[in-house]
């Protein structure tokens, strides 16, 4: 590989992320002013019912004129957790770059999701939110093909806070419960224990297993259940409230709560 190619591969790109609503300038002008290398557009997953979709071509054309790469992905613009899913996928793809999220565009739900993503995923990537102040507001009639705002007056960097999210291990456990669940009852606790061992979610007792090999015979039932309860079930149930445990007859079943299902929808992206 030549020196220029090596240097190019080591460069950090300036990546902007923007949900598409009824605006063009508010997406394009900040990207140009802050010298973006790439812009990700988040468009509605059903363009036929999205009145804002008419602005996508104009945005892409203007970014192309400015020699800024434009990529796009889809999400339901009225579903918070689906928007978060799309944002997480973009952030994981661009985690080696500098990511700037435009929280001033798109619907209110998209703006909320964008700000939440900046707070939730700041440990994954270098990510910052900003707000673009327009020069003026228009009549905002989408059917007249007129964007809601025009020009760019100011770009405001927003405060950075952090929202805690579950560890990757807990997210993988949620995914395991979801995949193994049998209807409303959920997954039998014994089956979850076995699957957790096979997936490496439960660590072996090194004092008992000197060669560090995981096998069900070496791993006592009691130690396995203790590890499952302490490291996976208790934090997911008591701290996050993402799962419930119910007893039916002599068997225990683990199932996802509605909060757990919503969290899994966007947190499982990329695991």
Asked whether residue 42 falls in the same domain as residue 136, the answer is: yes
Of 157, 179, 214, which residue sits at a domain end? Answer: 157
Asked whether residue 176 falls in the same domain as residue 216, the answer is: yes
DSSP state at residue 103: T
Asked whether residue 72 falls in the same domain as residue 199, the answer is: no
Examine residue 3 and state whether it is found in any structural domain, yes or no: no
pLDDT at 3: 40
Asked whether residue 173 falls in the same domain as residue 153, the answer is: no
Per-residue pLDDT of the chain (271 residues; tens, 9 = 90+): 444 443 344 589 999 999 999 999 999 999 999 999 999 999 999 988 888 889 999 999 999 999 999 999 999 999 999 999 999 999 999 999 999 999 999 999 999 999 999 999 999 999 999 999 999 998 655 445 689 999 999 999 999 899 999 999 999 999 999 999 987 789 999 999 999 999 999 965 544 544 445 555 555 788 899 999 999 999 999 999 999 999 999 999 999 999 999 999 999 987 7
Examine residue 19 and state whether it is found in any structural domain, yes or no: yes
Global pTM reads 0.86
The DSSP H or E segment spanning 228 is helix 221-228
**CATH number of 128's domain:** 3.40.50.10770
Q: Taking a C-beta distance cutoff of 8 angstroms, is the pair 18, 40 a contact? A: yes
Asked whether residue 36 falls in the same domain as residue 126, the answer is: yes
Examine residue 6 and state whether it is found in any structural domain, yes or no: no
Asked whether residue 30 falls in the same domain as residue 125, the answer is: yes
CA distance 100 to 63: 16
β-pair partners for 129: 101
pLDDT at 173: 98
Asked whether residue 20 falls in the same domain as residue 74, the answer is: yes
CB-CB neighbours of 122 under 10 Å: 18
**CATH number of 181's domain:** 1.10.10
CA distance 29 to 39: 12
pLDDT at 213: 52
Q: Taking a C-beta distance cutoff of 8 angstroms, is the pair 124, 168 a contact? A: no
Asked whether residue 123 falls in the same domain as residue 244, the answer is: no
Examine residue 22 and state whether it is found in any structural domain, yes or no: yes
Q: What is the pLDDT of residues 137-171, one digit of tens each?
A: 986 554 456 899 999 999 999 998 999 999 999 99
Number of domains present in the structure of the chain: 2
Name the 3-class secondary structure at 235: helix
Examine residue 257 and state whether it is found in any structural domain, yes or no: yes
Q: Going by DSSP bridges, is the β-strand pair 69-75/126-133 parallel, antiparallel, or unpaired?
A: unpaired
Examine residue 178 and state whether it is found in any structural domain, yes or no: yes
Of 106, 131, 157, which residue sits at a domain end? Answer: 157
Asked whether residue 24 falls in the same domain as residue 103, the answer is: yes
Q: State the residue range of the domain holding 222.
A: 168-267
Asked whether residue 75 falls in the same domain as residue 141, the answer is: yes
């Amino acid at each position: 590989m030549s020196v220029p190619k090596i240097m190019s591969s080591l460069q950090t790109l300036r990546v902007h992320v923007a949900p598409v609503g009824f605006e063009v300038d508010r997406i394009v002008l900040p990207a140009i002013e802050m010298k973006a290398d790439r812009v990700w557009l988040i468009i509605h997953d059903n363009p036929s019912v999205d009145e804002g979709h008419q602005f996508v071509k104009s945005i892409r054309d203007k970014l192309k004129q400015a020699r800024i790469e434009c990529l796009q992905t889809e999400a339901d613009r009225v579903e918070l957790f689906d928007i978060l899913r799309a944002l997480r996928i973009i952030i994981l793809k661009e985690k080696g770059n500098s990511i700037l999220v435009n929280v001033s565009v798109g619907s209110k739900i998209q703006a909320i999701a964008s700000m939440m993503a900046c707070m939730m995923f700041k440990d994954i990537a270098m990510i910052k939110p900003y707000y673009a102040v327009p020069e003026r507001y228009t009549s905002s009639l989408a059917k007249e093909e007129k964007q809601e705002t025009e020009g760019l007056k100011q770009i405001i960097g927003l405060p950075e806070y952090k929202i805690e999210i579950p560890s990757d291990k807990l997210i993988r456990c949620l995914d395991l419960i979801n995949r193994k669940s049998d209807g409303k009852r959920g997954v039998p606790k014994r089956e979850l224990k076995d699957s957790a061992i096979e997936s490496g979610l439960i660590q072996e007792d090194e004092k008992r297993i000197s060669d560090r090999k995981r096998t069900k015979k070496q791993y006592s039932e009691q130690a396995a259940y203790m590890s499952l309860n302490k490291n996976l079930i208790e934090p997911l149930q008591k701290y996050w409230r993402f799962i419930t445990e119910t007893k039916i007859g002599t068997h225990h079943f683990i199932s996802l709560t509605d909060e757990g299902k919503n969290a899994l929808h966007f947190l499982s992206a990329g695991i």
